[in-house]
Amino acid sequence: MSANTFGNTFCLTTFGESHGKAIGGVIDGCPAGLHLDYEFIREQLERRRPGQSEITSSRDEKDEVEFLSGIFEDVTTGAPIAFMIKNTDTRSDDYKHLKDVFRPSQADFTWDSKYGFRDWRGGGRASARETLARVVGGAIAQLLLRKSGIKICAFVSQAGWVTLDRPYTEVDLSAVYSNKVRCPDEPTAQKMLTHLLDIRAKGDTTGGVITCVVQGVPVGLGEPVFDKLQADLAKAMLSINAAKGFEYGEGFMSASMMGSEHNDRFTAGAGGAIVTATNHSGGIQGGISTGSDIFFRVAFKPVATLMKGQQTADRNGNDVWLEGKGRHDVCVVPRAVPVVEAMTALVIADHWLRNRSSKI
């Protein structure tokens, strides 16, 4: 299996399976001299951790990271940073009934077809538990970006049919983690929670949308052809389990706008700096950051595992009835917020490091 590494200069390679001994990763390209804030890393892992509330999986994992190399006296040395997180609450027997059955809309069929066999314990390598390593790598990338004043904040802007109807500029982004659904608007968050609990009671699941904002980005990140900043962000987001769509700036709304409406007019800003009067382009033009806020949205599908029966097929081509069981989220977006932040940080850190050598 290939393609377990993400990034060009700041690279993260992940390893491990959902019900294996551990999930882990190796970060290559992190500069020396970065002081690690272990509490921040722990906090990011805690935000992704299962068992947080009645709308998440009840799997009880502590998700404590152990660093193995690349750090001395809490400071990065420039060497590869290896880390791992042990799996402690696997309950693999819960998945025995799936050994020869393909779950609808899961990776079971495609994985089995490609490799000839699969790890049926919780999805194996295809499980969203792999995102643990991304969160660790992304947290370190965020610490690196903080030194340049770059901040990343993601939040749930839609859960099922309940949508936050205000732009990110009109909500308090510091309130994202003040509730179970990770929405910074409390009235909307309560509607989302009620909706999700109702769906869970019916044994069903739903999807949602996460909005992400990157502030303090300098002009010039990104490459103009294949490594456009929005293209790398799109790849990063669509590599997350259950992600189905990506749009930045006005996104698909751009298709119905006039050019005179969509164009971001340049004007003189503070200190004579050139800025744009609007930000319909989402902080990226020509694949390169403009210096304005970068903002985008990621759509996630409903969780494929239901607590109600579904018709499917087994490896021998027989139609079978699959009864729902196990521990699963009713909607992925609340726990996916720190994953979106992590993948965003990996992209921005990668381009920030590449950009340092783009001028003499």
- Tens digits of per-residue pLDDT, 177-235? 999 999 999 999 999 999 999 999 998 999 999 999 999 999 999 999 999 999 999 99
- Is residue 236 within a helix (H) or strand (E), and if so which, with residue range? helix 229-238
Name the least confident of 124-128, 166-170, 198-202, 241-245. Answer: 124-128
Residue 57 has pLDDT above 80, yes or no: no
Residue 56 has pLDDT above 70, yes or no: no
**pLDDT score of 94:** 65
- Token representation of residue 279: 């930000």
How much is the average pLDDT of 98-105? 81
Handedness of CA 238, 240, 241, 243 (dihedral sign): negative
Per-residue pLDDT tens digits for 5-41: 999 999 999 999 888 889 999 999 999 999 999 999 9
- Domains, in order of start, for the chain: 5-355 (3.60.150.10)
Task: Report the mean per-residue pLDDT for the chain.
Answer: 90
**pLDDT score of 272:** 80
How much is the average pLDDT of 143-149? 95
- Give the end-to-end CA distance of the chain in Å, rounded to a whole number: 39
Residues 310-314: contacts with CB under 8 Å, at least 24 apart: 310/104, 312/101, 312/102, 312/103, 312/104, 313/101, 313/102, 314/100, 314/101, 314/102
SS (H, E, C) 72-102: ECCEECCCCEEEEEECCCCCHHHHHHHCCEE
Residue 327 has pLDDT above 80, yes or no: no
How much is the average pLDDT of 123-148? 92
